[in-house]
Structure 1
Amino acid sequence: MKKDKYLKELTINETQKRHGDNTKKDVMKIQSWLSLYAIQNPESGTVTGIDGDFGPATEKAVKNFQKATNSSQTGIVTPQLFEKLCEGMKDAFERPLLSNTLRNAMVEAAENHLRNAPFELEIKGQSNSGPWVRAYMDGHDGSPWYWCMGFAQTILDQAASALGKDFRSLMPLTYSCDTVGTTGLSKGLLTRYQTVRNNPSVMKPGDFFLLQKSRYDWTHTGIIISVGNDVIETIEGNTNQAGSRNGIAVLKRTRNFRKTKLDVFSIEPLV
């Protein structure tokens, strides 16, 4: 994969513990993953502040995680325990894809990520933060870093790389929907929503949808995973139940393409 910054989210330099010789950055990683664990396991008691201070609250959260995962309740985070904390990201990025076509691999990769519940955190007052955002955004996070395109390109990169292809032959590495939209126009790969509504067959699983604000301004994107008569199913990053372009998670959504301005970027040349 070309987008490989996720690897930094899967390790800590050394064991971290209360009253230990700790590294603030590693402690913040631990606190982030503890909080992310609680999103899927709200009864676990692992939510804690993300401030880089391995104090009594973090120690207790670690013990609660250890209890929940049938580990010895030491309150100490070894590199091995940290691997268990972030095993969902490792699975999402490194589970071998079984599909032998790009479109199927796109859907498979997106579903693998969805299964592992990518979610953003708020850290030091900044939304769009945390391990998952940094993984999709090549190390960047914080409120300005809308991550829907980072997620979509990660899926494209992962699927293409599994088949020995380079996604950058289709589009540049970017976090901008506008860049992908204008690239699609210049290459003849972007189908406008009016045509999409009249001829839904132009959309195929693995293609990107681009939510159009105006003719040359797009605000949100995601991966199309299935196409019906009136709706598409998608997997999108940085969204929520309302379909926001600045939401909090990777979600599977159903969108009515006949009532929204959804342009479509085709990945066909890479297929």
Structure 2
Amino acid sequence: MKKTAYQKELTIKAIQKKKGSSNNRKNVMKIQSWLSLFSIWNPSSGTATSIDGDFGSATERAVKNFQRINGMTENGTVDQNVFDKLCKNLKDAFEGPLHSSNLRDLVVEVAENHLKNHPFELDIKGQSNSGPWVRSYMDGNDGSPWFWCMGFVQAILDQAASQMGENFKTLMPLSYSCDTIGNKGLEKGLLIRNQKIRTDPSLVKLGDVFLIRKSTFDWTHTGIITAISGNVIETIEGNTNFQGSRNGIAVMKRTRNLRKSKIDVFSIAPLV
């Protein structure tokens, strides 16, 4: 894979605990981030805590709650074994076994794997678009300016293409910009415009990348197409929400209507 920033999210440098001599602010924030992420899909867990880099009594209690839920010794201490459990979803998303035998199915399978592992952003010190999932998709970057929908798409394409011994960067440049990718699609003859799709929806294939168009050369949001039914596509997309925002909070599966939205499609055919 070309996008390997996720690997830095899987380790801590030393044991972290309340009043620990080896405590590291960044490591503590990683622990607090994963505790808070765990609470999103386990709201009764009691693991949500401030992400401030201070391993105090509240963080210790959150760790103990996490340990109890997972059948671990409740000592409030985070060593690498406990941290492995905290960040297991990220590891499973990026390194879990894949079973599909062709690239289009692989793209969908990888996207589904990420979805089921609950990628969410966090708000850290007033900065949205933050946390380990965002940094993993955005090559170590996070914070409010870092809209991460294209980072998510390229992570999925990278993982699937790498499984087949291919390099996704032969299809498109590494970029976080929908405009950059949309214009590259036009340049390479790979971008199918919405007007053409409305005439012939069969042009859209599984694993292709949708781009929501604002104007002729301006696109605002993107995601992976996972199913097609007439004029309706099912998608898995990052940095969205229930309203389909381009600056939402999570990876979600959505439906979109090709006739009601200006949706262009970037074909991944050259990689297939």
TM-score normalised per structure 2: 0.99
Q: For 1:107, give the aligned amino acid.
A: V
Cα deviations across residues 21-70 of structure 1 (Å, max 9, x unaligned)?
20000000000000000001000000000000000000000000001111
Name the structure 2 match of 1:48.
Answer: 49
- Equivalent runs, 1:167-246 vs 2, <5 Å: 167-246=168-247
- Residue 256 of structure 1: aligned partner: 257
Give, in whole Å, the separation in 2 of the partners of 1:17 and 1:87: 20
Query: Could you tell me how far apart the structure 2 residues matched to 1:230 and 1:174 are?
Result: 29
Q: Please state how far the C-alpha of 1:210 moved relative to its aligned partner.
A: 0.2
* Inter-partner Cα distance in structure 2 for 1:198 and 1:245: 26
Alignment-mate amino acid for residue 234 of structure 1: T
Q: Which amino acid aligns with 1:7?
A: Q
**1:99 to 2:133 alignment:** no
> Post-superposition shift, 1:208?
0.3
Give the equivalent residue in structure 2 for 1:134: 135
Q: Which structure 1 segments of 5+ residues have no match?
A: none
For 1:6, the equivalent position in structure 2 comes to: 6
* Residue type at the aligned position of 1:253: R
Query: Aligned equivalents of 1:198 and 1:3: distance in 2?
Result: 36
Specify the alignment match of 1:17 in structure 2: 17
Give the drift of 1:201.
Answer: 0.7
> Number of residues paired by the alignment?
271
Q: Which aligned runs of 4 or more in structure 1 are off by greater than 3 angstroms?
A: none
Task: Give the letter aligned to residue 8 of structure 1.
Answer: K
| Structure 1 position 267, deviation (Å) | 0.2
Tell whether 2:34 aligns with 1:57. no
Please identify, of 91-100 and 125-134, the stretch whose mean Cα deviation from structure 2 is larger.
91-100
1:230 and 1:262 map into 2 onto residues whose CA distance is 11
Q: State the TM-score, normalized to the length of structure 1.
A: 0.99
Aligned to 2:113: 112
Paired residue secondary structure (1:186)? helix
Letter in 1 for 2:7: L
RMSD (CA atoms): 0.4
- Give unmatched runs, 5+ long, in structure 2: none
Instruction: State the alpha-carbon separation in 2 of the partners of residues 94 and 142 from structure 1.
Output: 25
1:97 offset after TM fit, Å?
1.3
Deviation at 1:96, TM superposition (A): 1.9
Structure 1 residue 217, shift from structure 2 partner = 0.2
Deviations 1:155-192 (A, max 9, x none): 00000000000000000000000010000000000011
> Within 1, Cα distance between the matches of 2:125 and 2:260?
38
Rounded to whole Å, the distance in 2 between the matches of 1:79 and 1:15 is 7
Amino acid at match of 2:119: P
Aligned-residue offset at 1:132: 0.1
AA in 1 matched with 2:113: N
Percent identity (aligned): 66
SS where residue 123 of structure 2 aligns? strand
Distance 1:264 1:99 in 2: 23
